[in-house]
C-alpha cells in the first residue's frame, strides 16, 4: 500500500453535496489569549466516507477538549474539529482540514497562538499541520504515524503521550519520530505503561497531560502544569507516568 501523502489538494467535485470540515466550539471567550484545536482519530471506511459526530473516535475527544478548557482557566478558546472524511482519505487528508481550521481561528483571534491536540491519525495531522506560523504547541495522544514521518516543527513545543499497550498505533514508531524531532525543537515523551489506543483506561491522564501542557505553553505559565508535564517543561524529555 502506498504511503498516504500528508497534504493533498481538495477532492474534485463529484456531483454530490459538498462535504466540508466543521468546528465545534467548546469554549469561546470574547478575548482569548490563544486557541486550541482538538483533532479526532477514526479508521478509514473507504474513500469518501464522511465523519459522523456520533462516531466513537469523535465522541472520545469531547473529554479532551473540556480538559483543555479547564486547564486554561477560561483564557483559551477551545474547538473540536470534525474532519471532512473518515480515515486518511486518498485525495483529502485530515491535514487539509486542520489547515482550514487554523485559518478560521486565526481570523477570529488575530495574533493569538494556536495549540493542536490530536489523537491517533489526528495526532499525525497535528504534527504535519503544526508547521503553520500560528501554531506554538502540538500535543499528540497515541499518534498513528509512519516511521519516516519528519514534520518541520522548529520553534514549537511538542508533547507525545503514548500507551505501552497500544495495538493500533506503534509506540516504537512514535518514539522514533519523537527522537527525530528533537534535532530541531523541544520534545517531551510521556509513556503510560498499560495505556491502550482508545484511552478509555487512564483517560484522565491522557487528557490532563495534553491539556496542561497546551495551556502552560500557550499562556507562558509553567505553573499551570504539574507532575510529568511540569518535568517535561523543566527540561526532562523521556518519562514514564
What's the average model confidence in pLDDT over 47-58?
88
Burial of 241 (0-12, 13-18, 19+ CB in 10 A): middle
Q: What is the DSSP code (8-state) at residue 241?
A: -
What pLDDT does 48 receive? 78
Give the CATH number of domain 22-240.
Answer: 3.40.50.1820
Q: Which residues pair with 38 in a beta bridge?
A: 80, 117
Name the band, by pLDDT with cuts 50, 70 and 90, for residue 5.
Answer: low
Asked if 215 and 224 touch (Cβ cutoff 8 Å), the reply is yes
Cell of 107: 481570523
pTM of the full predicted structure?
A: 0.92
What pLDDT does 43 receive? 80
What's the average model confidence in pLDDT over 152-173?
97
Whole-angstrom CA distances from 200 to 32, 60, 172, 194 are 30, 9, 21, 11
Whole-angstrom CA distances from 190 to 4, 92, 195 are 27, 31, 11
Residue-wise pLDDT for 82-125, tens only, equals 999 998 877 789 999 999 999 999 999 999 999 999 999 999 99
Q: Name residue, grid cell 459522523.
A: 52
Name the band, by pLDDT with cuts 50, 70 and 90, for residue 7.
Answer: low
In whole angstroms, what separates CA 23 from the centre of its chain? 14
What pLDDT does 2 receive? 36
What's the average model confidence in pLDDT over 222-228?
97
Amino acid at each position: 500500500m502506498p504511503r498516504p501523502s500528508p497534504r493533498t489538494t481538495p477532492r474534485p467535485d463529484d456531483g454530490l453535496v459538498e462535504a466540508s470540515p466543521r468546528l465545534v466550539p467548546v469554549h469561546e471567550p470574547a478575548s482569548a489569549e490563544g486557541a486550541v484545536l482538538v483533532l479526532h482519530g477514526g479508521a478509514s471506511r473507504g474513500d469518501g466516507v464522511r465523519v459522523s459526530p456520533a462516531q466513537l473516535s469523535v465522541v472520545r475527544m469531547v473529554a479532551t477538549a473540556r480538559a483543555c478548557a479547564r486547564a486554561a482557566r477560561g483564557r483559551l478558546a477551545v474547538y473540536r474539529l470534525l474532519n471532512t472524511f473518515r480515515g486518511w482519505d486518498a485525495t483529502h487528508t485530515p491535514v487539509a482540514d486542520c489547515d482550514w481550521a487554523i485559518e478560521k481561528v486565526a481570523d477570529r483571534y488575530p495574533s493569538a497562538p494556536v495549540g493542536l491536540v490530536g489523537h491517533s491519525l489526528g495526532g499525525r495531522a497535528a504534527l504535519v499541520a503544526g508547521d503553520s506560523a500560528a501554531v506554538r504547541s502540538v500535543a499528540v495522544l497515541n499518534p498513528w504515524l509512519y516511521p519516516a514521518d519528519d514534520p518541520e516543527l522548529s520553534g514549537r513545543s511538542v508533547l507525545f503521550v503514548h500507551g505501552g499497550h497500544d495495538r493500533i498505533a506503534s509506540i516504537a514508531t512514535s518514539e522514533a519520530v519523537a527522537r527525530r524531532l528533537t534535532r530541531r525543537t523541544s520534545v517531551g515523551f510521556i509513556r503510560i505503561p498499560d495505556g491502550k489506543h482508545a484511552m478509555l483506561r487512564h483517560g484522565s491522564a491522557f487528557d490532563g497531560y495534553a491539556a496542561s501542557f497546551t495551556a502552560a505553553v500557550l499562556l507562558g505559565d509553567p505553573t499551570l502544569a504539574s507532575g510529568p508535564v511540569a518535568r517535561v517543561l523543566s527540561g526532562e524529555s523521556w518519562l514514564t507516568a
